[in-house]
Amino acid sequence: MTTPEAPFDPETQRARDELRAAFDDLIGELQAARDTIDDPQYFGPPATPRNLAEGYRYLAGFVHHGIERAFHEDPDYPAFRNALSIFNKSTIENSDAVYFYSPIDGRQTYRVTGRVEDARHWRGEPRLEGEPTAPQYLIFEVASGPMAGDTGTLAELQPGYRTGFGTLDSSKLQIEADGSFELILGPEKPDGFDGNFICTKKGPARKDPEGGERYADYVSGRQLFYDWQNEEPVHLSIECLDTAGSRQPALTAERAAASLRRMGSIIKGQMRFWLEFYDVVLNVKQTHEHDGRPYFMPINAYNTPNGASSDTGGGMSTNIYAGGIFDLKEDEALYIEATFTGEPVYTSIHLGNLWGESPDYATAQSSLNHHQMHMGEDGKQRWIVAHEDPGVMNWIDTTRLDSGFLSHRWAYSELPDKEDWPTITCRVVPFSEAAAQFPADQPKVSPAERAEAIRIRGRHVQKRFRVF
């Protein structure tokens, strides 16, 4: 005979009831997020076995993302985390990037520290070859407002929904002789401090001059890699100087319940927002009239290169983007040419499936940056997107996706005038004629050479996202 359980005391019973209710709410939001995968009203890709499988992986990535953000964000006790990674791909993310972020409270002061390998290329000098070096590019950005996609509605694209407070990139970052650096974030620069600093306070908004001071909510950034064999990720630390050395308060039932509900809201919001964004802003299904909208992505063609803004769901503030949709039959390929002026600190091409996930880039050459590709003697960038290897250096592997996103980035420390922005064109060609599209200076690649390039990619990706 079992002994009846003793009743909970009133406080424990309230906690139990609240947490069970919050968990039920989370499950309801997960079910709603799941429906986004195959309910046509939510703009998902066409239902095929591969698209559905990748849709559930896409959802699982946001579950990973939601757990970290809901339960492990604390501006009083901050830590940098991956906003996107090989475990939670989305937003047509960059295959060359580490995306990092941490919550902050702009009323407080923070110290960010890190150490880089040889960084002479950050100062415009020739890069050190064959030795460990810093990433090609590093940028910190401080802002307020929800993370893009959290609300689940395109209303967040309205001007003023987010506020930028400042940026600092590797061209201006002060580093010591040993590669170490420190960056202070705060509402006021410390007296006598002349090092790296970003202010986290702004005055009232112009549309609300009687409003109070505004403060930043988070610091984010990117590390962009060129030489996947030799560039080393930067391991960053952040501490709140107002709370450093104190113990973080224990989790309460109230906070845990709020975190469960926030987790569900984040997952559903992200699933809903980005698919609607692809439909309405990028016109991925080609169901809207163009009407001069600059971000529409045509099929087997490109939109006009454009800068990052709130209209595009964010993006790195120093980037120029161009995009389109590839749609290729088994025996077709897409030949692409681009030109740029000036000296971008970074440029690349990569693909995305119709959920916005990058295809596998560790075991497939589904992306190439400027360091990895061959630049034509005439100064043009050229690539071929195809399902099979045509035996040239600048092949972009679709991983046998019939259709997906084309995405190009050119990053500058300072954006050039619009008349000097890159240009890009493409055309569909028979796969049998793919290699013949290139000038004679395009290197041929043997299967053994391709396999070695893939091995280099795989080793780098493991190193970039290692967690131990």
**375 lies in some domain:** yes
Q: What is the pLDDT, as a whole number, of residue 306? A: 87
| Closest listed residue to residue 196, CA positions, set 209, 179, 184, 178 | 184
pLDDT along the chain (468 residues), means of 10: 70 97 99 96 94 98 98 97 96 97 98 98 93 97 94 91 94 97 98 97 89 95 97 98 97 98 98 96 87 85 81 66 97 97 92 98 98 95 98 98 97 87 97 98 98 98 87
- Among 230, 259, 280, the domain boundary falls at 280
The answer to whether 118 and 134 are in contact (CB under 8 A) is: yes
Q: Which long-range contacts (CB under 8 A, 24 or more apart) does 301-308 make?
A: 301/426, 302/406, 302/408, 302/424, 302/425, 302/426, 305/408, 305/410, 305/421, 305/422, 305/423, 305/424, 307/415
Same domain (yes/no): 427, 354: yes
Q: Domain containing 223 — which CATH number? A: 2.60.120
d(CA 320, CA 308): 7
**7 lies in some domain:** no
Token output for 381? 């960038």
DSSP character string of 295-333: T---BTS-PPPEE-BGGGTB--TTEEEEEEEEE--TTEE
d(CA 354, CA 356): 5
Domain that holds residue 110: 75-246
Same domain (yes/no): 212, 320: no
Same domain (yes/no): 306, 352: yes
What is the DSSP-derived secondary structure letter of residue 209?
T
d(CA 98, CA 223): 5
Produce one character per residue of 157-180: b if its CB has 16 or more CB atoms within 10 Å, e if not: beeeebbebbbbbbbebebeeeee
**450 lies in some domain:** yes
Same domain (yes/no): 16, 159: no
Same domain (yes/no): 414, 368: yes
Give how far Cα 209 sits from Cα of 142, 160, 165, 187, 203, Å: 22, 14, 17, 19, 9
Same domain (yes/no): 403, 459: yes
Same domain (yes/no): 365, 414: yes
**2 lies in some domain:** no
d(CA 187, CA 109): 7
Same domain (yes/no): 288, 156: no
d(CA 14, CA 65): 29
State phi, psi for 362 to the nearest 5 degrees. -85, -35
DSSP character string of 411-454: E-SSPPPGGGS-EEEEEEEEGGGTGGGS-TTSPB--HHHHHHHH
d(CA 400, CA 359): 10
Q: What is the dihedral of CA 16, 22, 28, 33, to 10 degrees?
A: -140
**360 lies in some domain:** yes
Same domain (yes/no): 308, 448: yes
What is the DSSP-derived secondary structure letter of residue 133?
B
**401 lies in some domain:** yes
- Among 280, 302, 333, the domain boundary falls at 280
Token output for 374? 């061959």
d(CA 313, CA 322): 15
**6 lies in some domain:** no
d(CA 375, CA 354): 29
Same domain (yes/no): 217, 111: yes
Q: What is the pLDDT, as a whole number, of residue 4? A: 59
d(CA 152, CA 274): 8
Same domain (yes/no): 309, 451: yes
Maximum Cα–Cα distance across the chain: 87
The answer to whether 110 and 208 are in contact (CB under 8 A) is: no
d(CA 179, CA 140): 17
Token output for 355? 């959920």
Number of domains in the chain: 3
Q: What is the pLDDT, as a whole number, of residue 288? A: 86
**3 lies in some domain:** no
State phi, psi for 195 to the nearest 5 degrees. -95, -160
Q: How many residues does the chain have?
A: 468
Q: What is the pLDDT, as a whole number, of residue 319? A: 84
Give how far Cα 372 sits from Cα of 257, 324, 425, 454, Å: 47, 22, 21, 12
User: pTM, whole model, 2 decimals?
Assistant: 0.93
Cα dihedral sign, 158-161-164-169: negative
The bridge status of strand 180-186 relative to strand 423-430 is unpaired
Q: Domain containing 290 — which CATH number? A: 2.60.120.1600
d(CA 153, CA 271): 10
Same domain (yes/no): 372, 298: yes
